[in-house]
Structure 1
Amino acid sequence: MHRRDFLKTTGVMAGGLALTSLIPNLVHASLTLGNTKISTLSDGTLGLPGDMVYGHLPQDELAPILEKYSLDRKRVVPECNVTLVQSGENKVLFDVGAGSNFMPTAGKILESLEGTDLSVDDITHVIFTHAHPDHIWGLLDDFDDPVFPNATHMIGKTEWEYWMNPETVNSIEPSRQAFAVGAKNRLSAIEDAVSFFKDGEEILPGIAAHASFGHTPGHMAFEVRSGSDAAMIVGDSIVNHHVAFERPDWHSGSDQDPETGAKTRIALLDKITTDKMQLIGFHLPNGGIGRCERKDNSYQFISEA
């Protein structure tokens, strides 16, 4: 039995019938652009302390936003949505989720994939928005083999150089040092086979990379286009459906460079609304697919689920 089959079999045995009942709910949402199908697959959720997201914000201005969206100030539970793009022969995953070693509520991408007509062997490309744990720690299985063995793995050159730099672990803030160690360990496993790209490049037919730095030093968003129809995969450059839209100018506690992150967020939201694009966000609700409406200097996320 292949290692991957062994892991799959033991996982199903452990989950039993409960896993089967969850599978249909893990294929969240989808949209079609010409001959291109875009779906989001759930990797589960995160559980974050409210202070991590809200603690540094002006509390008097924050309060009405929390009330408007019925948010819990003490705890944040964002979805994790891995994007699957199917176009011709290409079956492309954007990010691979958290794997089994980050949070117990995350790392569900393989269960979600079971709810489609695809297997890990069918994925032709894995493209990373950035190398934070909930996006890249699912790269390897428990035997340290790539989970998607036939895929070409692709990442922005700036992002790669940052996490592979041996000095990053010493220069990053202490609370993120595990992020640096985890990213370097996993990226090292594909070092001889990874492909790089830069801002503005069409990395696959109909898929172009857009620099969206700030959340990480080399974070990338991706425009998926078919004719006049387009959607933007924003990763974590727009990390929630409330504060990030209502006050995109506010600094986000999840961004490594908050000032750059805010400028990126404003520019992306402006482009998405001006060009009437749909957007797909890793942590946006109801599968993360929707559209954006401008309201003066703020915006609103409209879920398409």
Structure 2
Amino acid sequence: MSQAETRPRTIGQQETNMNPNNASHSGKAGPEELVPSRYAVRVGDIEVLVVSDGVLPLPTTMLAHNADPAVRAAWLDEMFLPPDAFDWALNVVLVRSGAQTILIDAGLGLDPNLNLPRAGQLVKRLEAAGIDLASVTDVVLTHMHMDHIGALLVDGVKDRLRPDLKIHVAAAEVKFWESPDFSRVFMPAGFPDALRAAAKRFTEEYRSLLRLFDDEHEVAPGVVVRRTGGHTPGHSVIRLASGGDRLTFAGDAVFAVGFDHPDWHNGFEHDPEEAARVRVRLLTELAKTGEQLVATHLPFPSVGRVAVDGDHFRWVPAFWDY
């Protein structure tokens, strides 16, 4: 099955041309993939394209380092997941609202020291969708972990971006990475150093393009970024709203295990207790509003809704629309 055969009808032909004035159609199609790597939805008048940046294999202890190992193992078994390691999805969102084309997060990029060959697919998958990097007017970062800024650090990418690009990120996030605290995380060896290096390089290379906000900022009509903290001090979520429709991109506030066990601590959380409180507040809000949810590490295409199920939550995946 090719990507063309799984093209959703919601955006139609515009799926491969998020900005008709700037999108390039000169790129050759790459080899067929076994599964699609992009999925289009519409939020009122706002066009949304969820793009897979690939997968990131990590130890399952990263899901819940504060949980009883037996309880964690039982959850993995119930979910038909391997006991030791599995692939975390990496999702990025491209949004068109009015005249603006907005990239929300930028994937992992290509760090040769981490040996993660199945991640860092964003640039080539945008090209496969007919999206020219020069058509992107704004970038919004949920936070500055390397799997959210990495593509911007790939050699040659900065030269392909427009000189008036605006990169929106919480001021608290930039401040945090001046002297980051890793005392409460639970990461595999090598990751803290890689995260520090990526954030430092990103700040140095893109400082002049940064547009900082404190708590909330409207990036484009119907596109609002709001700082939540928790995962990192400046972690933010993005809400899209148009014509009565809503969709929230939750970044790393929500993981697959977080519906059943929102109090379990993820290894990448710099303030695990606050991250859990943020998660519960956000899931409670989404269950009340019934709006759509997309998150970085939920299984692609990560489009669904949240329901309350007793004392925890339930993920309700959207039916794919072809």
Deviation at 1:52, TM superposition (A): 2.6
2:125 matched residue in structure 1: 112
Contact 2:182-2:270 at 8 Å conserved across structures = no
Counterpart amino acid of 1:25?
Answer: P
2:283 is equivalent to residue 269 of structure 1: yes
Aligned residues: 285
2:246 matched residue in structure 1: 230
Normalised by the length of structure 2, the TM-score is: 0.82
Deviation at 1:229, TM superposition (A): 1.2
1:8 matched residue in structure 2: none
Secondary structure, in 3 states, of the residue corresponding to 2:209?
coil
Which of 275, 283, 306 pairs up with 1:292?
306
State how 1:129-278 maps to structure 2 within 5 Å: 129-143=142-156, 145=158, 148-150=161-163, 151-163=165-177, 165=178, 167-168=179-180, 176-239=192-255, 241=256, 243-278=257-292
The 3 A distance-change label for structure 1 pair 58 and 26 is same
Task: Tell me which moved more, 79-88 or 112-121.
Answer: 112-121
Deviation at 1:155, TM superposition (A): 0.8
Normalised by the length of structure 1, the TM-score is: 0.86
Contact 1:130-1:218 at 8 Å conserved across structures = yes
Counterpart amino acid of 2:81?
Answer: L
Secondary structure, in 3 states, of the residue corresponding to 2:262?
coil
Secondary structure, in 3 states, of the residue corresponding to 1:190?
helix
Cα deviation code 1:52-109 (max 9, x no counterpart): 3244311343344222211112012011110111122111110111111152211101
Deviation at 1:170, TM superposition (A): 8.4
The 3 A distance-change label for structure 1 pair 142 and 69 is same
Whose helix proportion is higher, 1 or 2? 1
Task: Tell me which moved more, 137-146 or 106-115.
Answer: 137-146
Contact 2:62-2:266 at 8 Å conserved across structures = no
Secondary structure, in 3 states, of the residue corresponding to 1:149?
coil
2:104 matched residue in structure 1: 94
Query: Alignment identity in percent?
Result: 28
Deviation at 1:212, TM superposition (A): 2.1
Distance in structure 2 (CA, Å) of the matches to 1:133 and 1:300: 29
Which of 32, 36, 40 pairs up with 1:25?
36
Deviation at 1:264, TM superposition (A): 0.4
Higher relative contact order (CA 8 A, sep 6+): 2
Cα deviation code 1:209-236 (max 9, x no counterpart): 2222111111000111003211110001
Deviation at 1:143, TM superposition (A): 4.6
1:6 matched residue in structure 2: none
2:71 matched residue in structure 1: 61
- Which stretches in structure 1 are left out of the alignment for 5+ residues? 1-11
Deviation at 1:24, TM superposition (A): 7.6
Secondary structure, in 3 states, of the residue corresponding to 1:218?
coil
Contact 1:96-1:136 at 8 Å conserved across structures = yes
Distance in structure 1 (CA, Å) of the matches to 2:221 and 2:62: 38
